[in-house]
Amino acid sequence: MKTTARLGLLALLLSIVWAACTHDPDVPPRPAPKPDTTAVDSALLGKWYLLGSGWRYDMDPQPLDTVAYVLEFGGDGSLHGYAVNGSYTLKDTALRFKLYAVDEQRMPDRLLTYRKKLLSVYRYTIYSDGLLRLYYDNDTKYLLFDRKEPAPPVLNQLPRALLATWRINEYRLIEDRVTRDLSNSEPIQLRFNADTTWTLQVSSGQTTGPFRTDSWTIRFNHRLKPMDRFGSPDDRRLLESLREVVWYELKGDELTLYFSEGAGFISCQKVEPEAGRIDEHLCQPWKLVGFGHTADGSLRELTGADRLSNKTFLVELLINGMLYTLSSSNELYGNFSMNGQSIRMNVGGGTKVGETKAGEAYVRALNAAERFELQKDGRLKLFYNQGRDYLLFREGISIISSTPPAELLGKWVMADLRRYAMPPTGFKLSEQTVDFRSDGFVYITGTEPFGTSLGNKLPYGYQPWGKEDNLLVGYMYFSCRIDGDELRLGRNSSVDGPVYVFKRLRK
């Protein structure tokens, strides 16, 4: 009996031990997760583009600016946008923004206004048409956003003050927070062209790309790939910082480009073209022959009607630094500057319709021109792309001019020189003769009216560019009147310029 009781007690103890070993112990409950400080609305996440602003019950919002303001909501509560970065918090439809501090003294008024609107946002609504409204100013007004990026505005005219060459004097990048002074270094120049392209020139070369701008914003892009070499590492960092630029400020001859909400900047000084360095031999109309490649000497010539047309692929460089050009289908204006064999061109103002690929390549090459060479055969080469490519031109006076009349041909001697409000001349009129010939050249003796710097044999054109009663000799335009045996050539005669009177020499 005792043995049975002992066995029963032992079995009970073993069952208790077994249960203790095999049963999970009680685990204290985990604390409930804290609610996220930022709720997530998947419909709100991603990029939105500002369409405009209006009063709460106004169904026709007005554009805030010509800029495509973008606002991007991150799933982690981060906020990124056009010169606005920070965070947001959600609770139901309530929405609040916190923006990082910025240097407001450097920020344009329009951006400051936009930031203030965002900081006063009270709630949001996404409508069935997919548009987002952010209500602000005590719920009385709203900002309207869309998922689709609006098309960039069509500008009637680029800011003319911007279209120039600028020397970069200093800049500051965000990653090193150090202002770099370049005023005593090898010059780095930034040029804005009228065809909405820009060129960055460093000591070892240059690169180019398109830009978009209005009265205060500007965006850059370039075609260099990450593996392409460009200047020094600092030059490359400066180039990449151009892509971050958001707005600019112009004060006289000073230009400042801002990025990273004003904390980064590039400061520039306008470069004026050097006066008195224009080569007169270059100043005449030129007809494009083709696109050349320096390394192998290949030349892709114009074909078809473009080859001989007086309406396409012509450029005229004027002695005052201005230029006029015809591309494949457009009439363009601009300016140029020279220093020795170096040349810089700014082309673009004018019509912009129906340009062919060759026409686009032609205008790009003019804007990228670096230096020129006048060949022994009278042709002109404009080198670009660090000298690897060039445009080849031949004389263009004969193409833009009409056949001279028979009464102009022959030899003439100066009989009178009328200079209004000018002292008498110090030379004998009879020593000044001109001989117009049918081969397109005029042979000169004496110094007037064409000077001697270009020599005594000059090309001439009658009625150039269709201008009646005009004569082009070298780079100089004259009014031309033939009355029997008398020839009158006027140089700026409409503003009291000299009038040269010639008599025909009979054999």
The length of the chain is 507
Q: Output the pLDDT for position 290.
A: 96
pLDDT at 109: 79
Best CA proximity match to 317, nearest among 296, 300, 334:
334
Average pLDDT over every residue of 117-122: 93
**Measured in whole angstroms, how far is the alpha carbon of residue 363 from the centre of its chain?**
13
Q: Which two tokens stand for residue 120?
A: 């006063």
Digit-coded pLDDT (tens) for 268-297: 998 876 544 678 889 999 999 999 999 888
Is 14 a residue whose pLDDT tops 60? Answer: no
CA distances from 203 to 55, 188, 230, 473 (A): 54, 7, 10, 39
Read off the pLDDT of residues 133-189 as tens digits, 9 standing for 90 and up: 999 998 899 999 999 887 765 554 567 778 788 999 999 887 777 888 988 888 899
DSSP string, 222-248: ----TTS--SSHHHHHHHHHHTT--EE
178 and 171 Cβ atoms separated by less than 8 Å: no
Mean pLDDT throughout 378-382? 94
Highest-confidence range of 114-123, 421-430, 498-507, by mean pLDDT? 114-123
How large is the average pLDDT for residues 456-460?
A: 88
- Residue 133: name the closest of 74, 83, 58, 77 by CA: 58
Confidence (pLDDT) at 435: 93
The string of pLDDT tens digits covering residues 338-377 is 877 888 888 877 777 888 999 999 999 999 998 899 998 8
- Residue among 160, 161, 334 at smallest CA distance from 253: 161
396-406 pLDDT, tens digit each: 999 999 999 99
Which pLDDT belongs to residue 276?
47
Q: What is the mean pLDDT of residues 6-25?
A: 53
If one counts every other C-beta atom within 10 angstroms of the C-beta of residue 369, the result is: 20
User: What does the alpha-carbon distance between residue 140 and residue 124 come to, in Å, rounded to a whole number?
Assistant: 12
Q: How far apart are CA 356 and CA 61, in angstroms?
A: 39
Buried b (16+ CB within 10 A) or exposed e, 424-458: eeeeebeebbbbbeeebebebebebbbeeebeeeb
pLDDT of residue 274: 56
Q: Which residue has the higher pLDDT, 274 or 239?
A: 239
Q: What is the pLDDT of residue 67?
A: 67
**Four-CA torsion 142, 148, 152, 154, nearest 10 degrees:** -80
pTM of the model: 0.52
pLDDT at res. 79:
93
For residue 334, the model assigns a pLDDT of 87
pLDDT at 12 over 70: no
